[in-house]
Amino acid sequence: MKYTVDESGFYGNFGGAYIPEMLYPNVEELRLNYLAITEQKSFNEEFQHLLREFVGRPTPLYFAQRLSERYQAHIYLKREDLCHTGAHKINNTIGQILLAKALGKSKIIAETGAGQHGVATATVCALMGLDCTVYMGKLDMERQKPNVERMRILGARVVPATSGNQTLKDATNEAMRHWINNPTDTHYIIGSVVGPHPYPDMVARFQSVISQEIKIQLIDQTGNPTPDYVVACVGGGSNAMGAFYHFLQDDHVQLIGVEAAGHGVDSGESAATTALGKPGILHGSKTLLMQTQDGQVIEPYSISAGLDYPGIGPIHAHLFETERASFINITDEEAMQAGIMLSRTEGIIPAIETAHAIAALDKLQFDKDDVVVLNLSGRGDKDLETYIRWGKY
């Protein structure tokens, strides 16, 4: 079975490019050029150079001794939280800014939820001297204040999205509208494996460096390139796709995606897309989508701004449908407790998005010899205020 994108931009039943004509030339320009550009030797040399010297890759694959004792398995943490800017998001923004430059674009726009993608975009724009506008839900701007200021310090304009629930979905709508209104000089850096083809494939390729490194590091540390489990949180699903990518064809590797259950899957305040979603079309692709019977998108909820999205990348919808990956969900409370637990067990304060993946360890049954790789997608600095407000530590 194949998990790569087909010629028309689909992963099985999901994907495609459902876009209004106003976006067609921009998206078509990308579709026609992204492989040719990213496969150039000079592109790859610059990409690899920046990942190494600017981002700080490879990130460690850290054997978590005390966590392993607690769960009675061999648990490795892929330390994406140690990337420059504090999360995996910058792997993709480095790739896309080089692509934008190759296409001759002078302005960059982006959407952001938790602000990590916004910061990663503002960072690479500063690095390359390109104009940067980031759309962010007004609610997210309030709950992720430090990241808003980081973007501003880096020289980006942060524009509040005031429609809907004022979160990631609404920021994405506004960024798409901006792109419609500025079609020629602007590149839109989407931050996850969502959006019209070729975005999901493009972002997956840029993030695939995560699993590429994991394979090499596992050989060094265990003698075997494949683990028994790879665990990662899923909002749109970019860090999970990066961690899964090079294991997709290794059928014995169990891929676990962890979604945000918010106040509980059945509470009406949740972002657990695979549990609650049906096939639908949003932001340019067909995917699983939380929606009413009448096809209106349901406003998602999670304590974590980065998982607060009503859809999921089309490739994850495909992995779910084909049962190549399993998806579980974690409530706000479980995630917060797991965040504290990791802080005290390993000395690492995780992002609240990542804390969902950590909480999933409680839900899985491991054998003593199992090798588990958990993608530690981001660090918790940006979430201190949420930890403080939650207060139970």
Partner 1 sequence: MKNRLTELFEKKKKDVLAVYYTAGYPSLDDTEVIGKTLVKAGTDIIEIGIPFSDPIADGPIIQASNKVALDNGMQVSLLLEQVKALRSQVSAPIVLMGYLNPVYQYGIHKFLIDAKAAGVDGLILPDLPAKEYEDNFKATCESLDLSVIFLLTPTTSLERRNKVDQLSTGFIYAVSASSTTGNSKSFDENQLHYFETLKTQKWRNPVLIGFGISNHETFSQACQYSAGAIVGSAFIKALEQSKDIKQTIQTFVKVLRGNL
Of 297, 298, 364, nearest to 330 by C-alpha is: 364
Give the nearer residue to partner 1 in terms of CB position, either 182 or 254. Answer: 182
Note whether 173 binds partner 1 by CB under 8 A. Answer: yes
- Please select the residue that binds partner 1; options are 102, 180, 216, 364, rule is CB under 8 A: 180
We find the least distance from the C-beta atom of residue 205 to partner 1, in angstroms, to be 23
Which residues in the 272-331 window bind partner 1 by CB under 8 A? 278-284, 289, 291, 293-297
Instruction: Quote the CA–CA distance of 24 and 3 in Å, as a whole number.
Output: 25
Note whether 166 binds partner 1 by CB under 8 A. Answer: no
Note whether 20 binds partner 1 by CB under 8 A. Answer: yes
> Please, are residues 304 and 260 in contact by the beta-carbon 8 Å criterion?
yes
- Catalytic residue among 78, 80, 89, 169, which? 89
Give the nearer residue to partner 1 in terms of CB position, either 308 or 332. Answer: 308
Does the active-site annotation cover 377? Answer: yes
Give the nearer residue to partner 1 in terms of CB position, either 23 or 307. Answer: 23
- Please select the residue that binds partner 1; options are 108, 176, 243, 276, rule is CB under 8 A: 176
- CB hemisphere CA count around 306 (13 angstroms): 33
Note whether 270 binds partner 1 by CB under 8 A. Answer: no
Stretch that binds partner 1, among 112-120, 170-178, 340-348, 376-384 (CB under 8 A): 170-178
Stretch that binds partner 1, among 87-95, 119-127, 180-188, 228-236 (CB under 8 A): 180-188
- Please select the residue that binds partner 1; options are 5, 14, 19, 143, rule is CB under 8 A: 19
Give the nearer residue to partner 1 in terms of CB position, either 297 or 328. Answer: 297
> Please, are residues 284 and 170 in contact by the beta-carbon 8 Å criterion?
no
What residues contact residue 366 under an 8 Å CB cut-off, 6+ apart? 71, 72, 73, 228, 229, 372
Give the nearer residue to partner 1 in terms of CB position, either 95 or 300. Answer: 300
Note whether 129 binds partner 1 by CB under 8 A. Answer: no
Note whether 12 binds partner 1 by CB under 8 A. Answer: no
Give the nearer residue to partner 1 in terms of CB position, either 300 or 350. Answer: 300
Measure CA of the first residue to CA of the last residue in the chain; give whole Å: 46
Give the nearer residue to partner 1 in terms of CB position, either 32 or 384. Answer: 32
> Please, are residues 290 and 317 in contact by the beta-carbon 8 Å criterion?
no
Stretch that binds partner 1, among 37-45, 153-161, 171-179, 314-322 (CB under 8 A): 171-179
Does the active-site annotation cover 215? Answer: no
Does the active-site annotation cover 299? Answer: no
Note whether 159 binds partner 1 by CB under 8 A. Answer: no
Which residues in the 64-103 window bind partner 1 by CB under 8 A? none
Instruction: Quote the CA–CA distance of 390 and 353 in Å, as a whole number.
Output: 15
- Catalytic residue among 80, 111, 334, 353, which? 111
- Catalytic residue among 78, 105, 377, 382, which? 377
Note whether 369 binds partner 1 by CB under 8 A. Answer: no
Instruction: Quote the CA–CA distance of 93 and 111 in Å, as a whole number.
Output: 12
Give the footprint of partner 1 on this chain (CB under 8 A).
8, 16-22, 24-25, 163-164, 169, 173, 176-177, 180-184, 278-284, 289, 291, 293-297
